[in-house]
Structure 1
C-alpha cells in the first residue's frame, strides 16, 4: 500500500465517522490496521533507502583511456565497490579531466578528489625526499624496482610522511622505465646538445636531463603532443605505455630506450576521505589497491614489447641500443648535486639499490 493511498483512505474514514456514526467501530478497526500498514510502509522505505545509499568517490589521473593506469584504476573501482558491499562507488576521471598531476595531488590534500595515481616524483613537492626515487639508473630491471618499492626501509619511512601532508599511499602500481622520443635520432649525450626536451615538474629529472645535455621544458602532459608538432620542444621522455597511449611517437618518431629512470606510480587516497571511512572500509580500500598492484605491474612489463612492436608498425624508429655507458657517465654529477642537498638520504638510496642490483637480475 502506498503512502498516498493511505492518506486518501484516512480522509474517507474521517468523513464516514462524522456523518454516519454506526461506522465508528468499523473505522476504529480500519484505523488501527491502516496505522500498522503506515508504520510498515515507512519502515520498509527507510530500509530500502539505507540499502541503496552509496557514496561516490572521485579518482583522477592523467592517463588516456587506452593506457594501463586507466585499466588499473577501473579494476580498483570494481574492487572497492565489491569489498565495501556497495557502500562506495569509485568514479574514474582519466585524461587530466580534473587536473594534471600536481593539481590532482593538491586536490587530495584539500579533499577535492579522493584518489589519484602518479609517478613517485610527482609527490616530491610535498615530501621532498621522494625526489631521490627519480635518481638515474638506480635499478636496471622491473624485478629490482619491485624489490626496492616492496622492501626498502628508507622508502617505507618516506611514505609514512604522507598523512600529515593530506594524503596517504595505498599501494604502488606500475608505469615502467622512462625513455625518450625525439624528432631526430638520439644515440648519446652528444645528440642531446641544443635540443629542448619536455619533462614533468621534478627536480631530479630536470638535473638528469640537463646533465645529459638537454634543455628542459616543463609543461602539462596534454600540451606535449602539440608542442612537439609545432617545434616548441624536440621531444619528451616518459614510460613506454605513456608514449604509446598519448601517441607521442607520431610527432617524435625516434624512440630511444634509455631506461634512465624507473618510474612506478603509487596510488594515494585523500587523508580527509580516509578519516571518513570506517575501519572495515579502510581495510577494503587498501585490499583493493594492493590486489591491483600485481595486475598493473604485469600489464606494463608484459606489454612493453607488444607496444614497441605496434609503434614500429606505425612508423616509429626504435633505438634499442643507445650509448648507455655515455648516458650513465653524463649523469654522475647528479649524484654529487643530490648529496649536497639531501645528504645521507642519497647514500641510503644508493646503498639499498646497489644491494638489490647485486642479488636480483
Structure 2
C-alpha cells in the first residue's frame, strides 16, 4: 500500500478548501453582505395617488431595496396623504413618528430657507440644467443642511416644470392672470411670484386644493404635467398654459433619528436606492409627458404651449430683487454654474 498517497490527501484537501473559500469570498462578497443586513422595515409616505410620479419613485425605491438587501429591507408605502399633508409628514419625521417620504421642495423650504432658491421663477432653462445643479456640489450642500432640523436628505427626485391651469380664461401674458384665484404651494417665493404676476395667490395644501377646485372656490392652480394628469384636473380646469415657470424638485427625505438608528450597511443601501429611484422617476417623467399632454387635450383642455415667456420673465424681476440676497451666495453660484 502506498502510504505517501494517503499522507498527501489531507494537504491536498486543505489547499482545495482554502482556494474554494477564497473564490467564494471574492465572487460572493455582495451576497454575504446582503445576508448580514438586519431586517429593516421603512414606512414611506407621500401625498399623491398611485398614478403620480412620486408613487413611481417610491415603488422603484421599494423594489431596489428589496433587490439590494435580498429582501431584508422592506418598504411600506402610504400614498394619498394617508399619514398627513407634506408639512405634517416632515414634522413627523423630525420626531421619528414617520420614517421617510417623497416630499415637494416647496414645503421642505419652510424648514430650511436655502431650498427656496430652487423655487425662483425661470431659474432653470431645462431639466438637464437643473439636474446638474441639484446633483452637483451646490445641491448636495443644500441637501446636507436638513440635518440641522433633524431630517436627512437622501436625493433629489422630481416634480418637474410647473404650468398653470384654470377654469376662467386662456392665459398668454401676465395680464391674463389679473385677479385669478390661484392655489400655490405654501411657500413665500411661490406666493410672491404669483402676486407679482397679478394673480390672487392662495397658499394651501394640495389635499385642500383638490376640494377647492371641485367646489369652485379657487379658479386654478399650478403644477407639472404629471400631477395635472394624475389628478385628472381636466374635469375642473379648462385651460392649460405651458409657462414652465418653476422647476420643482422633490426629495427623498428621512427622519434623522431613524437614519442614525440604522446600521451603516443599511444606510448605504437606502442612500443608493434613493438615488437610483430618483433617476428612474426623472426618466419616467420625460417619457410620459407627451402622452399625458395628449390625454389632457383629448379630455377637453385647451393647451397653450407657446405663451409670451419673455413677458413673464420681465414681470417677475421684483421677485429676484426681493430674494436675491436671502440665500447667501447660492443664487449667484447657481447662475454661474448655468452659464
Q: Which TM bucket (shorter chain)?
A: 0.7 to 0.9
Match of 1:352 among 323, 334, 337: 334
Where 1:255 maps in the other structure, the secondary structure is strand
Which residue of structure 2 lines up, in the alignment, with residue 136 of structure 1? 121
**1:257 and 2:234 matched:** no
Q: Is the 8 A contact 1:189 1:213 kept in 2?
A: yes
2:92 to 104, 107, 112: 107
Match of 1:216 in 2: 201
Larger radius of gyration: 1
**Deviation for aligned residue 1:54:** 4.1
Q: Which residue of 2 aligns with 1:89?
A: 74
Match of 2:64 in 1: 79
Unaligned runs of 5+ in 1: 1-49
SS for the counterpart of 1:175 is: strand
Looking at structure 1, the residues matched to 37 and 149 of structure 2 have their Cα atoms a distance apart, in angstroms, of 34
Distance, in Å, in 2 between the alignment partners of 1:201 and 1:280 is 36
Superposition misfits of 4+ residues, deviation over 3 angstroms: 50-55
- Report the CA distance between 1:164 and its aligned residue: 2.6
Once residues 84 and 271 of structure 1 are traced to their aligned partners in structure 2, the CA distance between those partners, rounded to angstroms, is: 21
RMSD (Å), alpha carbons? 1.9
- Match 2:154 to one of 162, 170, 178: 170
**Tell me, what secondary structure is at the counterpart of 1:258?**
coil
Distance apart, 1:52 and its partner CA: 12
Give the drift of 1:282: 0.6
Give 1:343 deviation, angstroms: 5.8
- What's the CA shift string for 1:304-326, capped at 9, x where partnerless? 11110111111111110111111
SS in 1 for 2:134: helix
Are residues 262 and 343 of structure 1, via their aligned partners in 2, closer, same or farther at CA, if it must alter by over 3 Å?
Answer: closer
Question: In structure 2, what is the equivalent of residue 304 of structure 1?
Answer: 289
Which residue does 2:184 correspond to in 1?
A: 199
Contact 2:239–2:301 (CA<8 Å) still a contact in 1?
yes
Partner of 1:155: 139
Distance 1:298 1:52 in 2: 30
Any stretches of 5+ residues in structure 2 without a counterpart? 1-34
Aligned residues: 304
> Are positions 1:322 and 2:304 aligned together?
no
Q: 212-221 vs 329-338, which deviates more?
A: 212-221
Contact 1:138 1:354 (C-alpha < 8 Å) held by counterparts:
no
> How many angstroms apart in 2 are the aligned matches of 1:267 and 1:173?
7
Q: How much has 1:353 moved relative to structure 2?
A: 3.1
- The Cα shift of 1:85 comes to 3.3
Structure 2 contact 242–307 (Cα < 8 Å) conserved: yes
Matched-pair contact (CA < 8 Å) for 1:176–1:301: no
The 2-side partners of 1:52 and 1:150 are apart by: 28
For residues 23-62 of structure 1, what are the structure 2 equivalents within 5 Å? 54-62=39-47
| Equivalent residues in 2 for 1:122-133, closer than 5 Å | 122-133=107-118
Alignment of structure 1 residues 257-276 onto 2, 5 Å? 257-276=242-261
The TM-score, its normalising length taken from structure 1, stands at 0.80
Contact 1:60 1:92 in 2 (8 A): yes
Per-residue deviation, residues 211-246 of structure 1 (Å, max 9, x unmatched): 111111122212223312322111000111011111
Three-state SS of the structure 2 residue aligned to 1:264 is: strand
Describe the superposition over 1:180-237 as per-residue Cα deviations: whole angstroms up to 9, x where unpaired.
Answer: 1011211111111111100111111111111111111122212223312322111000
Q: TM-score, normalised by structure 2?
A: 0.85
Please state how far the C-alpha of 1:258 moved relative to its aligned partner: 0.5
